[in-house]
Structure 1
């Protein structure tokens, strides 16, 4: 704790108090999210290994969801520790993300109640599991390859150490982290055998990344100019029917 005396201005004391309270709040937010996701991981494993066959796909889903959000925080702690916060879990990514998850749960349990045998189509769930696993690996590979150049938010100002990454997985597609997330999100619904949400997630994810890539490439062209134009001409975005911002 910092030392202060009677001569310390009140404004400085208040600033120290505010910073301490803010740190404690962030610490609390990180702890409860970690506990929630750790419980989710354990619950998913338990359902997969110990419950009846009817619930295996649900166990896979809970496991995949919990691991994705926890790994986002862990990888961020490695590549950009200075930006680490409770937001790094991406649990509160957006209101639309939360609503989409809620709708998928409603569809799953409604169909499970009406057509329980339909949710036992394991060959369909395995396809979803494959998509989620591949998408997870692709996204985390992209994050680790870009390292401190990666950020969960689109940067509006170029930092001194910010470089254009074109090697590794970025030599195959311009936005591998988005490609991974795109197929991961669709895979979660295929695991659950949710036909409505599988289609809805495909459309919603495509629309989100179409707008996201366009916005991000405007800033990348501003940051790197001709270098990014040359990169664009050689490497696709990796997302279906999404070409980004072309000058």
Structure 2
């Protein structure tokens, strides 16, 4: 467990180090040299320190340099593009949260893909559309209204709390893919955030995704996200609950009867 925490801590150190150096050397040429040097060092040194992880640890730590750069960009543009600045910070926190679960509880599965950056074509398309809408609309009208930003930030914080809380509460029993066979260490989790929602990671991602669009003040993306998210989670939760009832029988039936999902109206749609 110690090496798991160590590797995750190093990722945050790389992010902070990258940010600090970029803030200290406010010269474009120096900054290019800093990023290039950090990318080269992390790529070459990482597999020597953790040879069991091979090329994956190189990709993981190099990505942290990129994350540090994104945090720096968020800092630089915060005056003119407040919403996009917060959006970038949220994206870094989201992907580091995904890595936390694997690094702490499923170390044998640790790889660059644990960040879920390249989650799916649909996910990448949604992110691209969100950014495009934000900057396209920014040319025509003011987007950074403080009330919307505050609401959006609160939504994303709730989302982060539920999703990361699900990782911490479920530990090894959490899976990013629906499991059709019960693993020996798979137990029914009803503590932590699972007391509040029986699918806290789904609720967290739902409220986080919409919160990001409120932060960006993207009306088109916000409206478009709603049916897409519902379509995904209805089919996903329906399948997952089918297997959970098989795995845990009456215990899950009783738990699900007393614990909501929290995604509005989704339990109504699950009846059909």
Give the structure with higher Rg (CA). Answer: 1
Aligned to 1:27: 57
Once the two structures are superposed, the pairs formed by residues 159-178 of structure 1 within 5 Å of their partners are: 159-178=183-202
Aligned to 1:240: 264
User: In 2, distance between residues paired with 1:127 and 1:153?
Assistant: 31
Indicate conservation of the 8 Å contact 2:160/2:204, yes or no: yes
Indicate conservation of the 8 Å contact 1:73/1:88, yes or no: yes
Q: How far has the Cα of 1:23 moved from its partner?
A: 4.9
Indicate conservation of the 8 Å contact 2:96/2:115, yes or no: yes
Deviation readout 1:1-36 (Å, 9 max, x if unpaired):
xxxxxxxxxxxxxxxxxxxx9953323332332222
Once the two structures are superposed, the pairs formed by residues 1-247 of structure 1 within 5 Å of their partners are: 23-48=53-78, 52=79, 54-115=80-141, 117=142, 119-243=143-267
Indicate conservation of the 8 Å contact 1:142/1:169, yes or no: yes
Q: Number of aligned residue pairs: give it.
A: 221
Structure 1 range deviating more: 67-76 or 145-154:
67-76
Q: How far has the Cα of 1:64 moved from its partner?
A: 0.8
User: In 1, distance between residues paired with 2:270 and 2:229?
Assistant: 18
User: In 2, distance between residues paired with 1:75 and 1:43?
Assistant: 27
Deviation readout 1:212-236 (Å, 9 max, x if unpaired):
1111111211211221112121112
TM-score (norm 1): 0.83
- Unaligned 5+ residue runs, structure 2? 1-50
Indicate conservation of the 8 Å contact 2:234/2:270, yes or no: no
Indicate conservation of the 8 Å contact 1:218/1:245, yes or no: no
The DSSP-based 3-state class of the residue aligned with 2:54 is helix
Dislocated runs of 4+, deviation >6 Å? none
Q: How far has the Cα of 1:157 moved from its partner?
A: 1.9
Q: How far has the Cα of 1:61 moved from its partner?
A: 0.8
Indicate conservation of the 8 Å contact 2:169/2:193, yes or no: yes
Q: How far has the Cα of 1:155 moved from its partner?
A: 1.7
